[in-house]
Structure 1
Amino acid sequence: MSITLRTERVLGDEQRRAPPARPLDAAWVAVFAAALSAAGAARPSLWFDEAATISASTRPLPDLWRMLGNIDAVHGLYYLLMHGWFAVFPATEFWSRLSSSVAVGLAAAGVVVLGRLLSTRTVAVTAGVVFAMLPRVTWAGMEARSYALTVVAAVWLTVLCVLALRRDRPRWWLGYAVLAIGATLLNVFAILLLPAHAVMVTTMAESRRARWGWVLAAAAAGAATCPFLFFSQGQLFQVGWISPLSARTVGMILVDQYFDGSRAVAVLCGLLGLAGLISWRRAGWRPRRLVVVALAWILLPTMAVLGYSMLRNPVYYPRYLSFTTPAMALILGLCIVTIGRSSRAWITALLVVFAIAATPNYLAQRGPYAKEGMDYSQVADVITRHAAPGDCLVMDNSTAWKPGPIRPLIAARPAAFAKLRDYGRGPTGIQRNMLWDAHIAVWAWADKMPYCPAIWTVSEHDTSLPRHEQGTALHAGPRLGRAMAYQVPYRFGFRIVERWQFNFAQVTKSLR
């Protein structure tokens, strides 16, 4: 009986009036989340996807518009926003990713506001803190892609839906429709929020007028985005690398989708969910609104993407459903408060345990090669520090990197390579209306080699050679030795005098 009374006092029936929220709750949680994501954001190397963001967003707007007709239309709105960001901030590792860190802060504030609308202040704040520490969120917060911004749109669209249901005025539904369109333009999967909101409307709407208000707003958003959704179907070749569904997909859903591969956090969250369920049953309490909304938010988009992947084209990849992370945070926040029985000390202790479990993954996300093992930034650093203006650049296009080819490496930090003579550069990405420059084989411009003071070659890492070495004529190694990128300069008398090796790449300096 005491458990029942205590649980009802903490979580209450959603219709019971809880203590008013403090206006600074959302603000301090937002600052905490943004700072947590931004910490260490400059350390990992830029990688293929982030190079795409920099390549697209830093070109003139007319050129960006033409490119979207060929590729990456699904990221068009994000590239436009980042074009404005890069007009103010440089396209470096930290500043590129800071945009996502700020977005995570805004999303965390939205989680607190939404939690307060659906439950109590304690649940709202706890969910906001959990959201800030969730591995998928700390990953998105330092990724120069649209994931974090899509989370912002998703959580505030859900907040707007709740408010529109309560106030039921045309201007609220108009705002909902506009934001739903914007969210879909940021991420096509965000349209899958509408079925989840349909469940919320069924649960929360107090009048037929409110239900019809949502139906009309959702229909307007769907109709407005249909041309975009159909057009983006023509660019599905971009995700041709995604594997069909298999037994491995189950692990991706359970461990990667919200926990970024952290089994410790996945197990802990499973235990929290189980303990929360047991506590609810013992208390005789049936949480309705928050749980129903959050479960619909998680399950319906995930099931829709899995269904599409099974019936048409494989498109399921864990990070594509990042916009459902607020729902997971709300459920975990509710579980922690339920288990802690409103005790601030117990809730804090559980949050500390969550933080400890997430720390190894958090640190790994901020390692130098955290982004799919890529080392674009390390290569650019070598060129920046050691190459002289007028030296020549050779890119070994025979590397087996995936995703590839090798030219995106230059696009990530173009200023580092601007001082070099890059005769292997074909028509530019702008000229081709594509993300990357074309590549010209090294033998096609061999006649220019005798005029190169030094040649800098970027090729694939060779595990048989040391990380760094110097000498008058270093051995090329089995990997580079068989590549035209080495053989052609060698015939002109160039010999390797210094080598740097990283995770994927090796960089060599050759002199005659």
Structure 2
Amino acid sequence: MSITLRPERVRSDGERPSASARPLDAVWVAVFATVVSAAGAARPSLWFDEAATISASTRSVPDLWRMLDNIDAVHGLYYLLMHGWFAVFPATEFWSRLSSSIAVGVAAAGVVTLGGRLSTRSVGVTAGVVFALLPRVTWAGLETRSYALTMVTGVWLTVLCLAALRRDRPRWWTGYALMAAGATVLNVFSVLLLPVHAVMVLAMGASKRTRWHWTLATVVACAASAPFLFFTQTQLFQVGWISPLGARTVGMMLVDQYFDHSLPAAVMAGLLIVAGLVSWRRAGWRPRRLVAISLAWIVLPTVAVLVYSLLGDPVYYPRYLSFTAPAMALVLGACIVALARSSRVAITVLLVIFAVVATPNYLSQRGPYAKEGMDYSQVADVITRHAAPGDCLVMDNSTAWKPGPIRPLTAARPAAFAKLHDYGRGPTGIDRNMLWDAHIAVWTWADKMPGCPALWTVSEHDTHRPAHEQGPALPAGPRLERALAYQIPHRLGFRIVERWQFNFAQVTKSIR
């Protein structure tokens, strides 16, 4: 699609007038962003967090509601939405993640719309493409969690706030209050968008009457979401694994928060921002509103979370601020357009360079063990292809995996293990109103083992054994030799005849 970018006049207030927007701009950027995020979605293994989504979202609504009283209330609305998604699509690697890829597309359309309204059409389109390529975004689009949806609510709530400021009608402010409350229930950190919108109110030069309407809508939104915010404080134990602030936090903010461990992408973004500032100064173009709102969107939520982490419980983790990614895309989009002086060719070249710089990280995100190195899907594939109905499953609960114990592995792809006798499975997650099934020690059901045609044991990877081996009686290896999951079956005459090893796990088949 050909897009003609022409230099625009500078108004007396330092802003350039917005070029006539084309509705298809947001559509094609949304499609582009969805495709970029969805590419390779089936390849990475499911992991702990995604297993939690599948475990919670595939149970009935009453069962989900009871679970949220114990755990994961902060994800409750997302789980409910995914319950509807899984009623239509299977809970596989690709289909579960496609929901997030589509959300990224919807958020990209919002970036195009917001950028065009705050600045120019060229800035909006460029920012939308940058958003699609941003490493934090391509990561979120491949994660069966709420991060991509928080980007949707973040950018479109901001678009709605801008529309309400300009129209100043009760129905717009009512919609804003409802959406703000809903965004907060989807992700508690989204409440930090409200101070950002206060900056927008000031930057847009709203009248006293309009400022009063915004304040009233904000109070209503806060009051509506306050009970939820207070309740979630009772479940802060869930993020007890987050480390206190330290020197590492600086690197997490500068690199991980928007660039997902991609130092080259972070460096290029920094260079673009510096070059953009120089270009603005030379050209006399200072997009004050867009820059002020975007910087507030980046800085205020980050500072608020850091202060809370310093004074209260540590809660800062880069991906929790994913809803601020549209702001970084807007800043970079404006810088690219300023540096390229609105030349279509120059803008395209800079976008291609940014894409090339981000590509190594993009490919890494789509590796088989991209999700914290976990290999839930690979284990499930072995069981699916090689295990027979009526075989038995042995889970070695002494593994040192983090996060979590070994039982979440079966929750990621439960259908793969359904054909096995899992005598070590205790009360189910549904019965316990928890995410995971309970685990029963292997010695308590040893009397049932002689009736098993084969034992499928899942344990920790053993670096002393090969990735795959087969034979009439294979060595257990140092890792399995010290595990009761092997010792007890061995005493009953079971011997290992085949072994598969992945990144975290090893799977063995044993027969008598």
TM-score band (shorter)? over 0.9
Secondary structure of the structure 2 residue equivalent to 1:342 = coil
Residues 131 and 325 of structure 1 are in contact (CA less than 8 Å); yes or no, is this contact kept in structure 2?
yes
Provide the C-alpha distance between the structure 2 equivalents of 1:118 and 1:13, rounded to a whole number of angstroms: 13
Q: Render the CA deviation track for 1:433-472: whole Å, top value 9, x for unaligned.
A: 0000000000010010110000000000001110000011
Provide the C-alpha distance between the structure 1 equivalents of 2:81 and 2:410, rounded to a whole number of angstroms: 23
What is the aligned partner in structure 1 of residue 3 from structure 2?
A: none
What is the aligned partner in structure 2 of residue 66 from structure 1?
A: 66
Residues 280 and 338 of structure 1 are in contact (CA less than 8 Å); yes or no, is this contact kept in structure 2?
yes
What is the aligned partner in structure 2 of residue 449 from structure 1?
A: 449
After superposition, where does 1:111-150 map in structure 2 within 5 Å?
A: 111-150=111-150
After superposition, where does 1:344-363 map in structure 2 within 5 Å?
A: 344-363=344-363
Secondary structure of the structure 1 residue equivalent to 2:474 = coil
Provide the C-alpha distance between the structure 2 equivalents of 1:455 and 1:12, rounded to a whole number of angstroms: 77
Letter in 2 for 1:88: V
1:87 aligned to 2:65? Answer: no
Secondary structure of the structure 2 residue equivalent to 1:471 = strand
After superposition, where does 1:287-306 map in structure 2 within 5 Å?
A: 287-306=287-306
Letter in 2 for 1:399: T
Residues 11 and 338 of structure 1 are in contact (CA less than 8 Å); yes or no, is this contact kept in structure 2?
no
Change in Cα spacing, 1:36 to 1:129, as seen in structure 2 (3 Å) is same
Shift of 1:9: 3.7
What is the aligned partner in structure 2 of residue 264 from structure 1?
A: 264
Provide the C-alpha distance between the structure 1 equivalents of 2:492 and 2:202, rounded to a whole number of angstroms: 75
Change in Cα spacing, 1:10 to 1:325, as seen in structure 2 (3 Å) is farther
Secondary structure of the structure 2 residue equivalent to 1:472 = strand
Shift of 1:404: 1.3
Q: Render the CA deviation track for 1:418-437: whole Å, top value 9, x for unaligned.
A: 00000000000000000000
Provide the C-alpha distance between the structure 2 equivalents of 1:14 and 1:70, rounded to a whole number of angstroms: 53
Residues 205 and 211 of structure 1 are in contact (CA less than 8 Å); yes or no, is this contact kept in structure 2?
no
Change in Cα spacing, 1:368 to 1:282, as seen in structure 2 (3 Å) is same
What is the aligned partner in structure 1 of residue 237 from structure 2?
A: 237
Query: TM-score, structure 1 length as denominator?
Result: 0.98
Residues 16 and 120 of structure 2 are in contact (CA less than 8 Å); yes or no, is this contact kept in structure 1?
no
What is the aligned partner in structure 1 of residue 495 from structure 2?
A: 495
Shift of 1:278: 1.1
What is the aligned partner in structure 2 of residue 433 from structure 1?
A: 433
Provide the C-alpha distance between the structure 1 equivalents of 2:316 and 2:51, rounded to a whole number of angstroms: 22
Provide the C-alpha distance between the structure 1 equivalents of 2:408 and 2:446, rounded to a whole number of angstroms: 23
What is the aligned partner in structure 2 of residue 475 from structure 1?
A: 475
Provide the C-alpha distance between the structure 2 equivalents of 1:422 and 1:183, rounded to a whole number of angstroms: 40
Shift of 1:380: 0.1
Secondary structure of the structure 1 residue equivalent to 2:111 = helix
Change in Cα spacing, 1:17 to 1:254, as seen in structure 2 (3 Å) is closer
After superposition, where does 1:2-401 map in structure 2 within 5 Å?
A: 9=9, 17-401=17-401
Secondary structure of the structure 2 residue equivalent to 1:234 = helix
Residues 471 and 497 of structure 1 are in contact (CA less than 8 Å); yes or no, is this contact kept in structure 2?
yes
Residues 10 and 285 of structure 2 are in contact (CA less than 8 Å); yes or no, is this contact kept in structure 1?
no
Shift of 1:202: 1.2
Number of aligned positions between the proteins: 507
Provide the C-alpha distance between the structure 1 equivalents of 2:305 and 2:55, rounded to a whole number of angstroms: 29
What is the aligned partner in structure 2 of residue 3 from structure 1?
A: none
Q: Render the CA deviation track for 1:134-172: whole Å, top value 9, x for unaligned.
A: 000000001000000111001000000000000000110
Q: Render the CA deviation track for 1:363-408: whole Å, top value 9, x for unaligned.
A: 0000000000000000000000000000000000000000010000
Letter in 1 for 2:314: P
After superposition, where does 1:453-464 map in structure 2 within 5 Å?
A: 453-464=453-464
Query: TM-score, structure 2 length as denominator?
Result: 0.98
Shift of 1:305: 0.3
Between the two proteins, what is the percent identity of the paired residues? 79
Contiguous gaps of at least 5 residues in structure 1: 1-5
* Displaced runs of 4 or more, over 4 A: 10-16
Provide the C-alpha distance between the structure 2 equivalents of 1:319 and 1:11, rounded to a whole number of angstroms: 38
Residues 10 and 16 of structure 2 are in contact (CA less than 8 Å); yes or no, is this contact kept in structure 1?
no
Shift of 1:284: 3.1
Letter in 2 for 1:171: R
Provide the C-alpha distance between the structure 2 equivalents of 1:296 and 1:96, rounded to a whole number of angstroms: 33
Change in Cα spacing, 1:417 to 1:11, as seen in structure 2 (3 Å) is farther
Shift of 1:283: 2.4
Residues 298 and 327 of structure 2 are in contact (CA less than 8 Å); yes or no, is this contact kept in structure 1?
yes
Residues 244 and 310 of structure 1 are in contact (CA less than 8 Å); yes or no, is this contact kept in structure 2?
yes
Shift of 1:15: 5.6
Provide the C-alpha distance between the structure 2 equivalents of 1:294 and 1:139, rounded to a whole number of angstroms: 21
Provide the C-alpha distance between the structure 1 equivalents of 2:13 and 2:374, rounded to a whole number of angstroms: 50
